[in-house]
Amino acid sequence: MQALSRRQLVLLILLTLVWGINWPIMKLGVTGFPALTFRTISMWIGLPVLALVLVWRRVPFRIGREHWR
């Protein structure tokens, strides 16, 4: 097994932290809101975040016709 580069190690640590923080947030969200309300809130927050990342990375929103299936 090869050693991780500095960038890979930083990304692994960030992924681990985000994944670990996700569980308590989900627990609070599901106990504090009805399930469909919490899901709607998360979608309304997630869609603009995804759009901002796509614009920042200059990735088109459109899905190519070859990927439709």
d(C-alpha 43, C-alpha 25), whole Å: 15
Higher pLDDT, 66 or 29: 66
d(C-alpha 18, C-alpha 23), whole Å: 9
Taking CA 18 as the corner, what is the angle to CA 6 and CA 8, rounded to the nearest 5 degrees?
15
The predicted-structure confidence for 9-54, as pLDDT tens digits, reads as follows 999 999 999 999 988 888 888 888 888 888 898 899 999 999 999 9
d(C-alpha 14, C-alpha 8), whole Å: 10
15, two tokens: 């992924």
Q: Is the pLDDT of residue 69 over 90?
A: no
Q: Is 17 within the bounds of a domain?
A: yes
CA Rg value for the chain: 17
The number of domains in the chain is 1
Q: Is 3 within the bounds of a domain?
A: no
Q: Is 1 within the bounds of a domain?
A: no
Q: Is the pLDDT of residue 63 over 90?
A: no
**What is the pLDDT at residue 64?**
86
44, two tokens: 């309304």
Range of the domain at 41: 8-59
